[in-house]
A and B are shown apart, each in its own frame.
Chain A
Amino acid sequence: MFYREAGQFKTSYAADQAIFPILQDRIFVAFLLLVAFVVVPVVANEYWLSTILLPFLVFSLAAVGLNLLTGYCGQLSLGTGGFMACGAFAAYKLSTGFPELNIVVVMLASGVITALVGVLFGLPSLRIKGFYLAVATLAAQFFLLWLFNKFAWFTNYSPSGVISAPPRAVFGDFFVTGPQATPAGKYLFALTLVALLALAAKNMVRCRVGRSWMAIRDMDIAAEIIGIRPLTAKLSAFAVSSFYIGVAGAMWAFVYTGSVEALAFQIDRSFQILFMIIIGGLGSILGSFLGAAFITLLPIFLSNAPNIFGLSISVDTVSHFEFMIFGALIVFFLIVEPHGLARLWQIAKEKLRLWPFPY
């Protein structure tokens, strides 16, 4: 009834190929952006901004990055944690080595550095496929962390190996890292970066590059025969994916926690992000966001739930329950919809089109 596209005619190719071809979707997204950019910073308190929304944004960006590689190009990677660490340490070295560099430049440059590292570790993908590639990318995970732990140069010879973000402003007094930064400022900075990069990703997967990734994913020999070069397609996927993950790592260290050691990017982190895209939906930008929301927000909600309902349960019981419920929900969602939350959303939209007169 409300979600009906009858009467919306496309008169140009541009209109037909828009990201959101349906008017209701455009209104919804515009509303969502308005809420995210204007209402949330005003309404949300510090707890929400700095411990719920910031990690959600950072993880979303990392999940988008991994989804480009694994979901769109079909190259299974377990090196996400290592690439995030690479972004974090690159950002640290850049911002302490060149204090005059703007933080936006630092973020993007650390993404570029991570992209180069990603291409290097993506080289084996030309010969190795599937699970074997996953094992090969594990090398990136362990090698990069070992590197940052072993060579004190990466941490500016800090005795403990912890890097800590220096205070930096985007312009004037608008600090986004360090103690002067307000939670709302950090949130807006992260949101802007994530929104722009997600838009870029969405467009990238709809253009020639993205199509060549998907062709490689679906059948690499067929793709080669129709003229797609596996070398450029696979390595560009590694580069772009690592760029996103590197920026996410830099944001993790600089905007979210403010100080970080290499241990924060262990193999668990790689699995966590892989689970996000599996639960959210492989090959879907929206799925990356849904998966990140599911994996980061649900445990926090579960551990707060007894308090919200006024139940006094000891903290260890809460933690145990949190694990059990979380695990059960993952199994439930994967049984109900193996293609992830994004597919559930799509099904819901299709049903809404027919509602209330399904045939």
Chain B
Amino acid sequence: MIRKLVAAALGTALGVSALAAGTAQAADPQFIPSLVYRTGPYAPNGIPLANGFADYFAMLNARDGGIGGVPLLVEECDTAYNNDRGVECYERLKNKGPTGAAVFNPYSTGITYALIERATADKIPIVSMGYGRADASDGRVFPYVFTLPATYWAQADAMVTYIAGEEGGFDELAGKTIALVYHDSAYGKEPIATLEALAERHDFTFETFPVAHPGLEQRSTWLTIGRRLRPDWVLMWGWGVMNSTAIKEAAAVGYPMDRFIGVWWSGAEQDVQPAGADAVGYKSGTFHGAGADFPVHRDIFTYVYDRGQGATERELVGEVLYNRAMINAVLVSEAIRTAQAVYGERPLTGEEVRWGLENLNLTQEKIDDLGLAGLLSPIGLSCADHEGGGQLRIQQWDGEKWSFVSDWIEPNRDGFLRTMYEGSAAQYAAEKGIAPRDCAN
């Protein structure tokens, strides 16, 4: 019996490896690792992210045969949003493919923190798109970390700009109260310093309300907010189940939804749908649009879903988080394309892809060509600026879908955020003994 089982197992293994060998492409592929969390406490958010990332590269492979004729090989590794497993996945994937990993997208602030030093030593760029360390926007201190298109600090600043617009100008902010409900972790604490600085500048009162992980217990927080403090606006830095809980609790104390704004990680279908009708009117920040009516989605449907190779179901394409990861894939592939123009059309190393990221310039024209018109604002990076000047919008949930309620907002970077990035990065450099590189030449 055992002998039979062993034989069967061996047979299967041989068969499968033969199959794998048969499907391997003739050309050397570009290896792109994908850290995902299809399991674990944040899987409801992780699954659409993983799908959007996978589908865009599948579409490029099917439509163009990869980038510049170099096929893309994407391999997923499940981190379950766990920092230790994230590091393990990084070490497992970093040397795969002919030239090693092109770029890592951890989708977790904790994993980003854990990888910064390792990736810098290994010369592999990290794209922490809308999460991670805000001060990594200073490319002189963090040569291998990218925060495009915007950081949490930029988000906090844009939110206050939006609030000022609604209130009738920055002068009207004086005497107002803005509360922040945040996930009590590295992620949730990111905007505090920015909001404190803004509170001082515009003379509004700023109150913070930490929520312990995972965020299911918020009743006392919202009783304080809704009954005692009664702030004019509430901002939220939440994630996962914390978001829908907060919306329900806010509705329970009668806090007006249209004065409640979440960060972009608190503004997906997964966050509002569990709250049902309570969530109607809730707002969130974002740096891209929602929906599947953009030209890029047509290509994804034609080349991936019509062939039955989609990562998810057709109806789920175009969800907020799906689009976010898809845009991440666009940024990565455009960086590779930019680098290929210099280094040639072959699989690139992490260092070469970093050059591509630093010289990435997505103009409005380019965005239209990629089929992303209206989805994204123009971005241009440089050696010193790893954020790229992305703009932000505020979206609102109407019970069915997300739609924009503001125009593109330009965060106040020059002279404010940039100074804060540089100050924080300089402190990091001093602590770590890093000599910032010279970006003048």
Contacts and interface: CB of A to CB of B under 8 A. Distances in A.
A229 B92 CA distance: 51
B394 interface: no
A300 B86 CA distance: 12
Given A178-B433, A257-B84, A315-B77, A164 B113 contact: yes
A310 to B, nearest CB: 4
A51 B92 contact: yes
Given A161-B185, A315-B77, A263 B110 contact: yes
Nearest to B424: A159
A319 B78 CA distance: 7
B78 A259 contact: no
Contact of B39 (A96, A161, A320): A320
Contact of B189 (A161, A266, A316): A161
Contacts of A9: none
B114 A258 contact: yes
A156 B432 CA distance: 13
Interface residues of A, number: 40
B36 A315 contact: yes
Interface in A143-173: 149, 156, 159-162, 164, 166-167
Contacts of B20: 310, 312
A318 interface: yes
Interface string B64-92: 00000000000011101001100110011
A315 B432 contact: no
A261 B186 CA distance: 7
A51 B13 contact: no
A257 B112 CA distance: 11
A207 B16 CA distance: 57
Interface string A273-305: 000000000000000000000000000100110
- Most B CB within 10 A of own CB, among A52, A96, A178: A178
A258 B39 contact: no
A156 B424 CA distance: 12
A264 B82 CA distance: 9
A50 B95 CA distance: 14
B13 A310 contact: yes
A311 interface: yes
A99 B424 CA distance: 20
B316 interface: no
A201 to B, nearest CB: 25
B113 A166 contact: no
Contacts of B133: 160
A159 B17 CA distance: 49
Contact of B118 (A167, A258, A303): A258
B166 interface: no
A167 B185 CA distance: 24
Contacts of A311: 12-13, 16
B121 interface: yes
A316 B113 contact: no
A159 B428 CA distance: 11
B193 interface: yes
Nearest to A304: B92
A319 B80 contact: yes
Given A161-B185, A311-B13, A259 B39 contact: no
Interface string B5-39: 00000001100110010000000000000001011
Contacts of A160: 109, 113, 133, 186-187, 189-190
A159 B117 CA distance: 18
Given A161-B185, A178-B433, A316 B193 contact: no
Given A164-B431, A178-B433, A319-B80, A159 B91 contact: no
Interface in B411-441: 424, 428, 431-433
Contacts of A310: 13, 16-17, 20
Interface string A115-138: 000000000000000000000000
B348 interface: no
Contacts of B114: 257-260
A46 interface: yes
B241 interface: no
B184 interface: yes
Given A162-B113, A166-B432, A263-B213, A46 B84 contact: no
Contacts of B39: 316, 319-320, 323
Nearest to A178: B432
Given A159-B192, A164-B432, A259-B113, A315 B76 contact: yes
B272 interface: no
A325 to B, nearest CB: 14
Nearest to B21: A310
Nearest to A50: B91
A320 B78 CA distance: 10
A320 B184 CA distance: 28
Contacts of B12: 311
B265 to A, nearest CB: 15
B51 to A, nearest CB: 11
A187 B415 CA distance: 44
A51 B80 contact: no
Contacts of A166: 431-433
27 contacts: A47-B91, A50-B91, A149-B210, A159-B190, A159-B192, A160-B186, A160-B189, A166-B432, A166-B433, A179-B432, A257-B114, A259-B116, A261-B186, A264-B110, A303-B78, A309-B13, A309-B16, A311-B12, A311-B13, A312-B16, A314-B76, A315-B36, A315-B76, A315-B78, A319-B39, A319-B40, A320-B39
Given A162-B186, A263-B110, 17 more contacts: A47-B95, A50-B87, A51-B88, A96-B431, A159-B189, A160-B109, A160-B113, A161-B189, A164-B428, A167-B433, A179-B121, A260-B114, A261-B110, A261-B186, A314-B76, A315-B38, A316-B38
Interface of B: 12-13, 16-17, 20, 36, 38-40, 43, 76-78, 80, 83-84, 87-88, 91-92, 95, 109-110, 113-114, 116-118, 120-121, 133-134, 184-187, 189-190, 192-193, 210, 213, 424, 428, 431-433
Please name the 9 residue pairs, one residue from A and one from B, whose CB atoms are nearest each other, closest first. A316-B38, A310-B17, A160-B186, A319-B39, A315-B78, A51-B91, A51-B88, A159-B193, A47-B91
Interface of A: 46-47, 50-52, 55, 96, 149, 156, 159-162, 164, 166-167, 178-179, 257-261, 263-264, 266, 300, 303-304, 309-312, 314-316, 318-320, 323
